[in-house]
Structure 1
Amino acid sequence: MARPKHTTFDKKKIVAENRRARFDYHIEDTYEAGIALTGTEVKSLRSGEGSIAESYAEIRGGEAFLVNANVPEFSHGNRFNHEPKRPRKLLLHAREVEKLLGAVERKGMTLVPLSVYFNSRGRAKVELALAKGKQTHDKRATIKERDWKRDKARLMRDKG
């Protein structure tokens, strides 16, 4: 019998976060994926550098790749330093890749990275979301709801 999956992932050190993704997309499901990195990329991420703001994931040839994620060159790297925006392979089980590919092809969903972090064992991981894009009116509703929650908290604090 398979072990049950954790609902939340064990994040020890968050390196990069895509906060805009939760505003632009309806998040359906999240997955944790490892990243195939070179030595200087790991060192650069450990120093807290990196960005996934404009990145996305795609599936090519039965493998998942993180595209357009920026991991700047390591400051003390030599001629073997890495390329900052190269596509990085995501380490997922074959069954997960097939499930993601089916959702992307059939339902028109997108694979969006939510965060890059190091887990408790020191491994670099990506929190990957299967998401559907929001329309403009959905975004306005989200803003309206967020503002109301803020005003409600302010009123409760002042009155109570």
Structure 2
Amino acid sequence: MAKGEGKVIAQNKKAGFDFAIEETIEAGIVLLGTEIKSARKGKVQIKDAFVRIRGGEAWISNMHIAPYEQGNQFNHDPLRSRKLLLHKKQINELVGKSKVEGAAIVPLKMYLKDGYAKVLLGVGKGKKKYDKREDLKKKDAKRDIDRAMKERSR
């Protein structure tokens, strides 16, 4: 876990496979009452989520937070766009890095820190198919080495 990180609510493991993450930024997120209650129960999915900069503000789209079971008719829309809380300097930095061809801003993790919901954003370039295959080969080789070391230590 990163320094100061609290309870992890959701992780985007697919992002590490699809993107070569170069930098990470922590951002707050604006949630409604029923959304934070649902998030505290772990009913969040960020696999298909992405970040867009609109009007000088960062917005996260396609992040699914399930409706709160004890909510009433004022329950939230599960797929609505949510505003991210970043400093103007951080937003300008993200804009500059996302202008590079093939670059994207994706959420890596959502967690609670000191009672507040935070999102760890990753800025990275999309991997090509051959890069993904190479990563799988390295992962398999590492697993084989670890297995052999474990057998040898017995």
Quickly name the TM-score band, shorter chain normalised: over 0.9
Match of 2:37 among 30, 35, 43: 43
* 1:126 correspondence with 2:105: no
Give the structure 2 partner of residue 4 of structure 1. none
Structure 1 equivalent of residue 138 of structure 2: 145
Of Structure 1 and Structure 2, the greater strand share is in: 2
User: How much has 1:129 moved relative to structure 2?
Assistant: 0.3
| Matched pairs, number | 153
Q: How big is the shift at 1:12?
A: 1.6
Q: Which residue of 1 aligns with 2:20?
A: 26
1:8 maps to 2:18: no
Cα distance in 2 between the residues matched to 1:135 and 1:146: 17
Secondary structure in 1 matching 2:72? coil
Q: What amino acid is the match of 2:81?
A: P
The answer to whether the Cα contact below 8 Å between 2:110 and 2:120 also exists between their aligned partners in 1 is yes
Does residue 91 (structure 1) correspond to residue 78 (structure 2)? The answer is: no
Return 5+ residue gaps in structure 1 as ranges: 1-6
Aligned match of 2:110: 116
Offset of residue 107 of structure 1: 4.6
Amino acid in the other structure paired with 2:82: R
- Write the deviation string for residues 113-133 of structure 1: whole angstroms up to 9, x where unpaired: 0011001x1110000000100
3-state SS, counterpart of residue 121 of structure 2? strand
Q: Provide, for residues 94-138 of structure 1, a one-character-per-residue CA deviation record: whole Å limited to 9, x for no partner.
A: 00000101111245410000011001x111000000010000110
Partner of 2:70: 76
Q: Would you say the 8 A contact 1:11–1:118 is kept in 2?
A: yes
Given residue 138 of structure 2, which amino acid in structure 1 is its aligned partner?
E
1:24–1:134 Cα contact (<8 Å) kept: yes
TM (normalized to structure 1)? 0.92
Deviation (angstroms), 1:26: 0.2
Residue of structure 2 in register with 1:56 after alignment: 50
**TM-score of the pair, normalised by structure 2:** 0.96
CA distance in 2, matches of 1:14, 1:92: 20
Contact 1:73–1:82 (CA<8 Å) still a contact in 2? yes
Q: Which digits, 9 at most, give the CA deviation of each residue in 1:64-104, with x for residues without a partner?
A: 00100000110000111111000000000000000101111
Structure 2 unaligned regions, length at least 5: none
Contact 1:9 1:32 in 2 (8 A): no
Q: Could you tell which deviates more after superposition, 98-107 or 18-27? A: 98-107
